[in-house]
Amino acid sequence: MSILVTGETRVLVQNITGDEGRFHTKQMLLYGTKVVAGTAPGHGGEDVEGVPVFESVAEAVSATGADAALSFVPARFSADAIVEAADNLIPLIVCLSEGIPALDMVKVCAHVKAKGCRLIGPNCPGLMVPGECKIGILPGNIFMPGPVGIVSRSGTLTYEIAAALTKLGVGQSACVGIGGDPIIGTTFIDILAMLQADPQTEAIALIGEIGGSDEEEAAVFIAENVTKPVAAFVAGRTAPPDRRMGHAGAIVTGGRGTAADKMAAFESAGVTVCETTDETAAMIADMLRRKAAAR
């Protein structure tokens, strides 16, 4: 096994009767994920792709023993949905929604932590352990089991690095999209610590982007705690200052959070910084070859 989820993880989908919930529930089932329940007020007693729908998370957990929640709830209701999942002590909560106010997320993240649960996201593609479980919207066909852990702030670039690795015949141990918002439940450092401790993971690919200081903090953590080879790609090098680029967290202000700052921090920590996702995949493959040759 790898990190966070296994083939035995039992997933509950919040807002399973919405268009996105229905579509991605089917995709997760086709991948082999154990989607055991869904919730949608007013739809209790129905089913989606054979998955029973409940009125509340409490009912769903009681009936199915779900131990992970995936939220397709619209942004204006997402904070409440996360709190409901945490109040029912679901250990892993994944929120894909974009546009949740940052102040709401400050309160939600504190509540989730106080309940002893873990939140991935919001504004993320989800996570997966190839060959075992995928929770979210990641396209399962581009992944394959293997030794590379991927942690990323960007959904699309997550797919690009995974596809590039698979094309080279290099599989992945786990892939986690942590989300691009300023306030998120799980950070680079959290996932790096898990990948460092995971015996299946032999190398790490980190995808960062402009804005905030998460990458700089991750670089310090890598220098002090990570012994496995790490290659990084930082998106947004040509972004103009003081303008948000895609993600709510991807904004450079007051000279802080630039791609140059992040790349310099990684290089000083001994991380190999690459120019493209394809180059990152090739570098990871080379790291693994050199590591195997040195055994």
- Which are the catalytic amino acids? 247
Closest by CA to 123, choosing from 174, 173, 169, 72, is 72
Cis amide bond preceding 41, omega within 30 = no
**Based on the number of CB atoms within 10 Å of its own CB, is 197 exposed (0-12), middle (13-18) or buried (19 or more)?**
exposed
Residue 221: alpha-carbon gap to chain centroid: 19
**Based on the number of CB atoms within 10 Å of its own CB, is 35 exposed (0-12), middle (13-18) or buried (19 or more)?**
buried
Closest by CA to 4, choosing from 119, 89, 111, 116, is 119
Query: Which residue's structure tokens are 């195997």?
Result: 292
Residue 24: alpha-carbon gap to chain centroid: 16
**Which residues fall within 8 angstroms of residue 114, CB to CB, at 6 or more apart?**
none
- Work out whether the CA dihedral 141, 5, 227, 219 comes out positive or negative: positive
Give, rounded to a whole angstrom, the gap between the first and last alpha carbons of the chain.
Answer: 23
How many Å apart are CA 150 and CA 174, to the nearest integer? 6
Closest by CA to 148, choosing from 176, 173, 124, is 173
Written as six digits, the tokens of 81 are 């949905």
Closest by CA to 260, choosing from 222, 292, 234, is 234
